[in-house]
Amino acid sequence: GEALAVSARVAPLGSRLVLLLVEDLTEARRIEAVRRDFVANVSHELKTPTGALSLLSEAVMDASDDPEAVERFAGRMQIEATRLTNLVQELIDLSRVQNDDPLEDAEPVRVEELVAEAIDRCRQQAGSKQITMASGGTAELFIWGNRGQLAAALGNLVENAVNYSPARTRVGIAARRIVAPGGDLIEIAVTDQGIGISEKDRERVFERFYRVDPARSRATGGTGLGLAIVKHVAASHGGEVTVWSSEGQGSTFTLRLPESGVVREHTTGRPLIV
């Protein structure tokens, strides 16, 4: 409607300009809608734990002469507070990866360290589900990038692999170098034997707050922001993240990132760029 009215007004200026204007309007409107959705989503996500905290604190006060009930409510308050902290932290991470240029303090980042860190981060949860974690091919590979952001990205993928897998399965992390005309790439693939992702959902899991099963995501402390962060980190490093999945069989998330020109190690233990 509005776009058509505008196009009618500027029609004498030529059809190409009209087209550009209409496209601009559509794009501006799309961006505005995305921004509005994001604010609505954040508000909604904040409301759940804050609402619960306020109800639980009332319940604690009412139950002051019943120590067992107080303890129960306090335990639930702790869960909600953790949920809130996670959400705020992931929002900070997301805004950082969206706004900062990661290559400003880029350095050669050792893939072996990234993988070890990601596995460490999930060790406790994997252990409680008896999930085996294994990695291979990481030796002497370096990525050119921002250490903190790369660690967050890989950590999110491994965390998801553990979260969305049943007990007594395996999570594998495999790395290799790919020779490419525009510069060699490092590929890191995280494979699980978990619930998988349908074709319809595969396109959407990288969107902020998109979850296939919101209840399951929340139960494992998920915020729905992890893969959006991974996608941003990959893109801003000049790389990409892709997903392959078979429902009920498992998923593989693959990061491809620019290789760093490190070929040997200095005696100080610091990588030497040659």
Q: Which residues bind ligand ADP (CB under 6 A)?
A: 156, 160-161, 164, 192, 194-197, 205, 210-213, 217, 222-228, 251
Shortest distance, CB of residue 197 to ligand ADP, whole angstroms?
Answer: 5
Smallest distance, Å, CB 82 to ligand ADP? 14
Residue 38 CA to residue 206 CA, distance in Å, equals: 14
Structure-block tokens of residue 197 = 């992702």
CB closer to ligand ADP out of 171 and 175: 171
Q: Which is nearer to ligand ADP, 22 or 212 (CB)?
A: 212
Closest CB to ligand ADP among residues 213, 240 = 213
Q: How far is the CB of 35 from ligand ADP (least distance, A)?
A: 19
Residue 169 Cβ, how far from ligand ADP at the closest point, in Å?
A: 11
Please state the closest distance from residue 119 (CB atom) to ligand ADP, in A.
15
Smaller CB separation from ligand ADP, 216 or 266: 216
- How many CA within 13 A on the CB side of residue 190? 27
Task: Check residue 24 and give left, alpha or beta (phi > 0: left; psi -120 to 50: alpha).
Answer: alpha
The residue among 176 and 211 lying less far from ligand ADP, judged by its C-beta, is: 211
Minimum Å gap between C-beta 232 and ligand ADP is: 11
| Nearer Cβ to ligand ADP (18/171) | 171
